[in-house]
Amino acid sequence: MAVAQISPEQQVMQMGSGYWASMVLSTAVRLDLLEGLAGQPGSASQLAAEHGYHAESVVRLLRGCAALGVAQEIAVGVFALTELGRLLLADHPRSLRDAVIMLTDPGHWNSWYQLEHTVVTGQPAYQKALGVENVFDYFASQPAESERFNRSMASMTRAFVQQLREAYDVTRFAVIADIGGGHGQFLGALLQAAPQSRGVLYDLESVVAGADAELSALGVLDRVEKVAGSFFESVPAGADLYLLKHILHDWTDEQCSKILERVAAAMKPGATLLISEMLLAEPPALSPAALMDLNMMVMTGGRERTASQMEGLLSSAGLKFKRVLALPGPHQLVEATA
């Protein structure tokens, strides 16, 4: 049986209504409806009764989930999760539950609504949407949203770290410093693969203060030195490998130059810098990172960059661009030395 081809008009409408899918998924996750299907298929009316929700609306929402492929209706009003849907469960080892919610939290949702403002004025959308000069000031004032943001970053790190382990040998470095490393999920996962190495976790005081639970869970707390500070002011010296994972895309070229200058000043002879970003293809080639570049424009005032742009930033900071390592996913590794 031939599969019907959708028309160009349908394609355009699917793109235009893309936010429908975002809201269907995040609402089903926020309301714990998918968690209710974790163990076995469940009745939508029973789920509604358990939570005190409107029964017919729950049925219709779950049918929307089925249309998106995260659930299936196996009998009238009875739903089961698909393998895709299991990625939205809290206990899945590669769970994206927090990430899906984060994308419709006020910080992201309201900022993206102001994309037109950014395109017209060049000013970051979040400034108009959230009323702050620095988006991280907004997150500091919204602890629940900030914690969900941190958890979502950690969840996306889990798949990435395995790719990095397979592509790059970190065991040869005695001291690994993760600059802007959050709660240490990335650094800790790398140290698990490098049992002879020690780590330095560097981030703001308010961030590293909450890292013990993550580092303990990974079994590396006794091998990590936590250092508080701002990478615009200084970076801990003496490490053999410095990591900048998804840091530079948050900032302007001028700000990135300052960060890289601080890293360069801290690097001893022979030290290595490893940067992880979604590199843009060199124009005019089509780039899968173009939408993430827009997200950075909206959410931080930063940007994704091409390999040549990254090389220029490194050179201006006194660092030597060595190579780009492609990973199976959307991210690449940029290796540089002092």
Catalytic residues: 249
Query: CB atoms < 10 A from the CB of 182, how many?
Result: 23
Q: What SS3 state is found at 19?
A: helix
Helices (H), the chain: 8-16, 18-30, 44-51, 55-68, 83-86, 97-102, 106-113, 115-121, 125-130, 135-141, 143-167, 185-193, 205-208, 212-217, 253-266, 290-299, 307-316
**165 CB-contact burial (10 Å; exposed 0-12 / middle 13-18 / buried 19+):** middle
Tell me which amino acid residue 325 is.
L
Nearest CA-CA partner of 277 in 288, 268, 269:
288
- Return the C-alpha torsion angle 168, 193, 99, 16, nearest 10: 20
